[in-house]
Structures are given as C-alpha cells and as structure tokens.
C-alpha cells in the first residue's frame, strides 16, 4: 500500500469520499441542470428580433460601453467576459442565436462588462486573485508532497495557496449573482417580452448552481487537505 509517512493510503481515499465527493456529485447535478435548461430554451425563440450578439451590443451601447467589443468564440457554454481586452465572447449558439437561452447568456456576460465599468469591487478582487488561484490549484499537491518528503513548511505554503482558490470561488458567487441580476434588469427594460423573464431566470439560476457547486468543491478539497496533513503539521 502507498505510504505517506503518517498513515495508510486508505485515509487518502476516505477523505475524498467524505470531503470532496458530495460536492462533486452536486457539481454533476448542476452541470446536468444547466445543460437541460440551456438546451430547452435554446429551442424557444425570444421574440425580440435580435440575436445574442445584437442584444449584447444593444445593452453595451445604451450603457455607454462603446469600447467593449462582442466576439464569437467556438464551443458550447464557453461564453465569458475578458476584462483585460474588454471583450464579451459569446459561443456559437449564443452569438448568432435568437433564443431565450442566447438572450439570457448574452445579457449575463454583458453584466460582467457593466460591473467592470463601474469598478464593482468583488469583480476587481476576483480578477486580482485569479493568477494566485490558478497557480495554487496546479501546485497545491506538489507542495503537499514536498511537505511530507522535505519539510512541513511546504504544506503550509500549499494550504495558503489553496486558500486563494477557495477565496476566488467564494468571491465568484456574488460576482455571478450580480451579473445575472443586472442582466434581468436590462432585459426587462424594453428588450424582452415579459413572458420571457421567468425562463431567463431559470437559465441563469441553473448556471448559478454550477458556481455554488464549484465553491463547495473547493471548500471540501481544503478540508481534505487539512485532514490529510494534520499529523505532519502537528
């Protein structure tokens, strides 16, 4: 059996089932839910006469964000806002689609551009933490192993780095919820027929659940790290 110097590998797998697996199951459910909602409303026309790209451009222009561009990106549900280049990138079905799903996702991504324009603090914090979180997510287990082999200092360093991952996910929640709230306000303001607002909320709520699941997964992983390293840290 693989031995870490503090116990048997059984604890490694036990900790996974206790701390991480429940959140991963929620993540699988959330992903299925967003796929179901997106595919359902991808087939329902928004009756706005506008594609997702046109809706994005309309919201940007009426909020004075003429310097933010809208581009098409390949893939499904790959939509995002790039704050460095001030570009709203919309996936194929959203960019050229005129469905309720396309309308909802496009408006949500523009919501991030609106946040950026007004200096929305959670978004600024998330953008600043992102490089550390990306590094921490890649390197945490390398530092943990170095801690068992060399010195417990590396375990502490790995935990600090992974705290940035958890913080990033926690801050992502208000950022995403706020972007959806802004999206609905914009859609209700003369863009979408009133009967489309409830389906739009359904799409955006399903998307929000994926961020909740990601946050719980990160917290579970952090708890697992504390559990596995408790003896070495002591």
Beta bridge partners of 81: 88
> What is the rounded CA–CA span in Å between residue 35 and residue 33?
5
Catalytic residue, from 109, 176, 202, 221: name it.
109
Burial class, 48, CB count within 10 angstroms (exposed 0-12 / middle 13-18 / buried 19+): buried
Asked whether the CA dihedral 14, 19, 20, 24 is positive or negative, the reply is: positive
Burial class, 99, CB count within 10 angstroms (exposed 0-12 / middle 13-18 / buried 19+): buried
121 Cβ partners below 8 Å, 6+ apart? none
Active site residue 109: yes
Residue 219, token pair as written in the block: 């917290």
Helix (H) / strand (E) element for 207: namely helix 197-233
Q: Which residues are catalytic?
A: 109
């Amino acid at each position: 059996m693989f031995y870490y110097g503090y116990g048997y590998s059984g604890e490694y797998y036990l900790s996974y089932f206790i701390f991480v697996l429940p959140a991963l199951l929620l993540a699988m459910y959330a992903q299925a839910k967003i796929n179901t909602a997106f595919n359902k409303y991808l087939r329902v026309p928004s009756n706005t006469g506008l594609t997702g790209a046109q809706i994005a451009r309309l919201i940007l222009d009426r909020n004075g964000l003429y310097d933010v561009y809208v581009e098409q990106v390949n893939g499904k549900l790959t939509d995002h806002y790039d704050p460095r280049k001030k570009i709203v990138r919309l996936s194929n079905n959203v960019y050229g689609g005129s469905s309720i799903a396309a309308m909802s996702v496009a408006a949500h991504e523009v919501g991030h551009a609106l946040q950026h324009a007004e200096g929305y603090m959670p978004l600024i914090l998330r953008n600043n933490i992102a490089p550390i979180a990306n590094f921490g997510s890649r390197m945490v287990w390398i530092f943990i192993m170095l801690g068992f082999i060399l010195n417990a200092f590396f375990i502490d360093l790995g935990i600090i780095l992974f705290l940035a991952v958890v913080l990033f996910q926690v801050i992502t929640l208000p950022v995403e919820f706020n972007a959806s709230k802004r999206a609905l306000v914009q859609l209700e303001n003369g863009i979408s027929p009133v009967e489309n607002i409830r389906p739009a909320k359904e799409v955006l709520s399903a998307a929000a659940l994926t961020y909740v699941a990601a946050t719980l997964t990160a917290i579970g992983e952090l708890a697992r790290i504390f559990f596995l390293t408790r003896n070495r840290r002591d």
